[in-house]
Amino acid sequence: MKKKEDKQRRVEDRAGSIISIIAPGTKFKGTLSGSDSVLIAGHFKGEIKCDSLVRVDREGRIQGIINSPYVIIEGEVNGDVLSAEHVELRKGARVVGNINTVRIVMAEGCILQGEVQMPKEGDKPFIFEEKRAGKDIQDKSLEEEVMNDKKPKPSNAS
């Protein structure tokens, strides 16, 4: 049975509903600030200062800085993500810039060209167990070595 806390495990649930939307086909240039969540499905150029969730949809494009505690990226960001508590790069996300966050989750198929900075000493990236069948055994042993802070062994591939 699921606990009550599990209902707010997802970032979307913790941040609440999305109030502001920059719709597909819309272009916005300037500074966007507020306390409610925002969805970027169009093109945005400038700075976003949000006290809640910033979500960049698959069609969304941002050129500028995102300053928000919760950030989900499925589209494209050309700029930095600052002061984040939790950042998710979902499949198809493309980020050219630096990310400063306490926790980061990266899906297979996302692209990050930049640095990830985790400000608290001892923080490590969140690693989740793949639930799909047919996972390569070599990948699993590599994950175990990384978790145990060991250097990976060279592969015996011919």
For 6-31, the pLDDT digits (tens) are 455 566 666 666 688 899 999 999 99
Whether 52 maps to a domain, the answer reads: yes
Q: What per-residue confidence (pLDDT) applies to 141?
A: 44
Domains of the chain: total? 1
Residue range of the domain that includes 102? 4-129
Whether 59 maps to a domain, the answer reads: yes
> pTM, whole model, 2 decimals?
0.70
Beta-bridge partner residues of 53: 70
Whether 28 maps to a domain, the answer reads: yes
Place of tokens 């086909």: 25
Whether 17 maps to a domain, the answer reads: yes
Whether 50 maps to a domain, the answer reads: yes
Q: What per-residue confidence (pLDDT) applies to 29?
A: 96
Whether 157 maps to a domain, the answer reads: no
Could you give the 3-state DSSP secondary structure of residue 150?
coil
Q: What per-residue confidence (pLDDT) applies to 136?
A: 47
Q: What per-residue confidence (pLDDT) applies to 139?
A: 47
Low-confidence ranges of the chain (pLDDT < 70): 1-18, 120-158
Q: What per-residue confidence (pLDDT) applies to 140?
A: 47
Whether 135 maps to a domain, the answer reads: no
Whether 155 maps to a domain, the answer reads: no
Which residues in 121-147 are b (16+ Cβ under 10 Å) and which e? eeeeeeeeeeeeeeeeeeeeeeeeeee
